Amino acid sequence: MIVTVEQLALFVSTLAVAILSPGPGVIAVSQSAFSMGRRRALPYGWGLALGASLWCLFSLLGLTVLFRILPWTFVVLKVLGGAYLVWIAWKMWRGAPDPLPDPAESRRGTGFLGGLILNLSNPKPALFYSAVLLSIFPAQIGASDKAAIYATALTVEMSFYTGLACLMALPLLRRRYYAAKLWIDRVAAALIGALGLSLILRH
């Protein structure tokens, strides 16, 4: 095995710093935890974590090489992903005045599959992972090294989204959400919509 413990530790710290920046997944899982509680937000968070980690796997398997050879593939993925985020934002904005759903009955597209699709809708993490992997690890690594790197990324993503879902579902934070649901939902929708539009418009 070529990859060292020190390299994996640097990878974890770099990923931890990057993952704290607000993105669609962070906003969406927070809003889900506020509105439906920890039990319903956790599967959504796990889907988001898997979706994010799959970009690491795709990078390890050479997806970014495809982006460099055929730049239009990245543009197509960006436009499709941005359109999906705008659609999610529109649904969230339109539903902001609605009463809170029954956590036991409503799914609202925030199950495991919904989280997976949301984080796969943004291809930019593939470029991030590619840059980080190239800067930390040797250029030529074997299958066992790739498995160790992916397992590390998946563990970090799972830990983050699990912790975030549990934190945002705390009773104090949920009571604050209940008192200002309309504005919190619309701010979240505006942020996700802006991220989607920037994904479409920026080159």
User: Could you tell me the residue ranges of all domains in the chain?
Assistant: 24-201
User: Phi then psi for 62, rounded to 5 degrees?
Assistant: 100, 20
Say how many CA atoms lie within 13 Å of 202 toward its Cβ.
Answer: 11
Asked whether 67 and 4 are in contact (CB, 8 A), the reply is: no
Q: What pTM did the predictor assign?
A: 0.80
Q: Cβ atoms within 10 A of the Cβ of 106, count?
A: 13
The closest of 75, 89, 99 to 24, measured between CA atoms, is: 89
Written as tens digits, the pLDDT of the chain (203 aa) is 688 899 999 999 988 878 877 678 888 898 889 888 888 899 999 999 999 999 999 989 887 778 778 888 888 888 888 888 898 889 889 888 877 655 444 445 568 999 999 889 888 788 788 888 878 888 778 889 999 999 999 999 999 999 999 999 999 888 888 778 888 888 888 888 887 888 888 75
